[in-house]
Amino acid sequence: MKRKRISQLLGLVLTFSMVFGMVGCGDQNKANNSEDASVQSNADTEKEEESEKEAEAVSEEITYPLDTTDTLTIWSKNQIKPVASYADYTESPFHTGLAENTGVEVEWTYPAEGAVADQAYNLLLTEDELPDIIFTNVTSGEAEQLINDGVIYDLTEYLPVYAPDYWETIHKDEYVNVLQSLTTDSGKFYGVENFCETEYNVTYVGPVIRQDWLDELGLETPVTMEDWENVLVAFKENYGATLGFFTARLNNIGIGSGTGAYGTFSTNFYVDENGKVQLAQAQQEWKEYMAYLHKWWDMGLIDKDSITMDDAAVRTKVLNGEIGVSFTACSQLTAWVGDAEAEGTGANWVGFDYPRTAAGEPTCMIQARYSGSQGWCAMVTTSCPEDKLITALKWLNYGYTEEGLMYWNYGTEGVSYYLDENGQPQWTELVTEDPDGASNARVKYNGTSGTGISIQLAHMVEIGFAEAAAEAVYKWIDNTEASDHCLPMISMTDEESARYSDLMTSINTYVEETGMKFMTGDVSLDDFDAFVEELNGMGLEEALEIQQAAYDRFME
């Protein structure tokens, strides 16, 4: 749901941004980013032993390149795509190198240029002869349906045998919470999932501030909402600058943690102390949050354009010194830092903690739970004959082997990356000095810049950011102790999800609309109770019940 909403706000053309729309999250699982993912998890859980036993029984040693004459066809929903300057995958270093390393010739196809990806996917499904592998984002409910319709293989029995490294990966400690979401309700494994190494990969939005102004005015980094207000007032008086943001960035999480609220303008569900699923916007804390926003709006502390600004517009105001505090993403922060250097504005943007109800209190931050998986997976279709299925799975397994992991993330050593004195991969000049820009260049050599059939390493992401942005992510991850309140990736039955999405369309609209009106004062906060009542009238309780049921099933 969240992903959808963001993309709507970004407009039509941004449908693809869904791919990246996963909202970041912090949780107890604070892996150090320098930890190489290839390092084996040292804890041998029962589960792992079990699976290894299974695997040992039949799995054969897989050595790459594979000795096979099979060729595979794969359709990918615009991920793992060669950069635009190549005519097709046969020119792309990553794709040709992958074929070489795995010993399997793969024919890559994608939706036609400029096509609507979801539509292309649906048309694909109507064909009699499907490609061997489909890489797309599916929910487990949809996957179950596809298995029942005989479109894709149920991989439960095949994975431990023919994709042992993948099997091992998903049974690692850090992904124990996720394992359940990789199967359908009836416990079938339906594909090889894309993974993120740590919460670093999926955390990318948070508060940022002009540190140079704070220093000039001798102010501390704000912690509570009162601090925020003081800083905003000081910024306004001294620099005429405000709090300005792109609402899509703020919508899910925002700075509600300052009052203990769990969301801004987009509906957000969380689990309360009693294990009950609740809607953030129906709580008193959220009312307080809105009261702050309204107060700041009236005082002129919030940029009046914030409601309609997109990233580009925010960036303009940032460059012109009209914004002093914001809420944004690393990629934007990287751009701002670049602008400030290029124009010599002297602006020093840094990321800082989410606000707290009081100093020393936990931030009560709630981001989407870091789940490891991003919901993208490679499914093998039944058009692939059973003997070729083995090659397909071995090929899919490559991204989860030690060697394959490095290749999918950094390309070839000595070509696109080298190991620095700490043994950390760094991009070579071939990448950093590429005339198409470093970000395009990375995509030429790696397959995990978006989502790939591998694990996206945190270090790979980090070395793509400007330093300030890379550091900001650590700030945003730190001290987010409220992850227990995070809803896990629960799965609903077909009927539940149909009813749920029906109810939620109206509720989403109403919350977003009224939330903003609370902020601007078009609707008085005295009407908050009426607002909650209206929500109930729209079937909020039923939506909560559906969520609760799915959550309870998950917890079992």
Partner 1 sequence: MKKLRKRKLGDWVFDIIIYVILIALVIVTLYPMWYVIVLSFSNSTDITKYTGIVLWPERFTLGAYQMVFEHPTLMASFKNTILVLLGSLPLSIILTVLCGYFMASKGMLWKKAVVGLIMFTMFFSGGLIPGFLNIKSLGLYNTLWALIIPGCISVYNSIICKTAIETIPESLSESAYIDGANDIQVIFKIILPLIKPTLAVLTLYYGVARWNDWFQASIYIKDTNLLPIQNIIRAVLLENDIALNSAGVGDNFNTYAETLKYAAIVISTVPILCIYPFLQKYFTKGVMIGAVKG
Partner 2 sequence: MSNLVSFGKRAGQDFKKNKYKYLIVLPVLAYFLIFHYKPMYGIVIAFQRFRASVGISGSPWIGLENFRRFFNDIYFWRVLRNTFTVSALTIVFSFPMPILLALIINEVQVKWFKKTVQTISYMPHFISMVVVCSIINSFCQTNGILNEMIVFFGGERTNLLSEKEMFYPIYVISDIWQTIGWDSIIYLAALSGIDQEQYEAARVDGAGRLRQIISITLPGLLPTISMLLILRLGSILSVGYEKILLLYQPLTYEVADVISTYVYRKGLVDADFSFSTAVGLFNSVINIVFLLVANKVSKKMGQSGLF
Q: Out of partner 1, partner 2, none, which partner does residue 96 contact, by CB within 5 to 8 A per kind?
A: none
Minimum Å gap between C-beta 319 and partner 1 is 5
Beta-bridge partners for 313: none
Minimum Å gap between C-beta 511 and partner 2 is 9
Rounded Cα distance between 554 and 277, Å, is 13
Q: Out of partner 2, partner 1, none, which partner does residue 252 contact, by CB within 5 to 8 A per kind?
A: none
- Map residues 455-494 to x or -, x wherever contact with partner 2 holds by CB under 8 A: ----------------------------------------
In the three-class reduction of DSSP (H, G, I as helix; E, B as strand; rest coil), residue 194 is classed as strand
Interface with partner 2: number of residues (CB under 8 A): 42
On the question of a cis peptide bond just before residue 435, with omega within 30 degrees of 0, the verdict is no
In angstroms and rounded to an integer, the radius of gyration of the C-alpha atoms of the chain is 24
- Map residues 487-506 to x or -, x wherever contact with partner 2 holds by CB under 8 A: -----------x--xx--xx
- Exactly one of 62, 161, 307, 415 binds partner 2 (CB under 8 A); that residue is 307
Rounded Cα distance between 105 and 277, Å, is 48
| Phi/psi of residue 485, nearest 5 degrees | -85, -5
Q: Does 438 bind partner 2 (CB under 8 A)?
A: no
Instruction: Look at residues 296, 297, 272, 299 and name the one whose alpha carbon lies nearest to residue 284.
Output: 272
The residue type at 67: D
Structure tokens at 274: 């009693």
Q: Out of partner 2, partner 1, none, which partner does residue 516 contact, by CB within 5 to 8 A per kind?
A: partner 2
- Which contacts (CB < 8 Å, 24+ apart) does range 93-97 have? 93/411, 93/415, 93/416, 93/444, 93/445, 94/411, 94/443, 94/444, 94/445, 94/446, 94/447, 97/407, 97/411, 97/412, 97/445
Give whichever of 147 and 466 is closer to partner 2, judged by the CB atom: 147
Q: Does 139 bind partner 2 (CB under 8 A)?
A: no
Q: Out of partner 2, partner 1, none, which partner does residue 193 contact, by CB within 5 to 8 A per kind?
A: none
- The footprint of partner 2 on residues 205-264 (CB under 8 A) is 247
Q: Does 125 bind partner 2 (CB under 8 A)?
A: yes
Q: Does 515 bind partner 2 (CB under 8 A)?
A: yes
- The footprint of partner 2 on residues 313-352 (CB under 8 A) is 313
Beta-bridge partners for 373: 195
Question: What is the DSSP secondary structure assignment for residue 183, as one 8-state letter?
Answer: B
- Exactly one of 116, 176, 233, 291 binds partner 2 (CB under 8 A); that residue is 116
CB within 8 Å of 458: residues ≥ 6 apart: 31, 33, 196, 197, 198, 200, 201
Minimum Å gap between C-beta 337 and partner 1 is 9
Rounded Cα distance between 304 and 297, Å, is 8
Q: Does 149 bind partner 2 (CB under 8 A)?
A: yes
Rounded Cα distance between 447 and 455, Å, is 10
Q: Does 63 bind partner 2 (CB under 8 A)?
A: no
CA 152 to chain centre: 26
- Exactly one of 118, 185, 361, 484 binds partner 2 (CB under 8 A); that residue is 118
Site for partner 1, rule CB under 8 A: 10, 13-14, 16-17, 19-20, 22, 24, 84-88, 109, 111-116, 119-120, 122-123, 126, 201-205, 311-312, 315-316, 319-320, 329-332, 334-335, 338-339, 342-343, 436-440, 442, 449-450, 456, 461, 464-466, 469
The answer to whether 348 and 211 are in contact (CB under 8 A) is yes
The answer to whether 323 and 303 are in contact (CB under 8 A) is yes
Minimum Å gap between C-beta 322 and partner 1 is 10
Residues of the shown chain interacting with partner 2 in the complex, contacts defined by CB under 8 A? 4, 8-9, 11-13, 15, 116, 118-119, 122-123, 125-126, 145-146, 149, 151, 247, 265, 304-305, 307-310, 313, 498, 501-502, 505-506, 508-509, 512-513, 515-517, 520, 522, 538
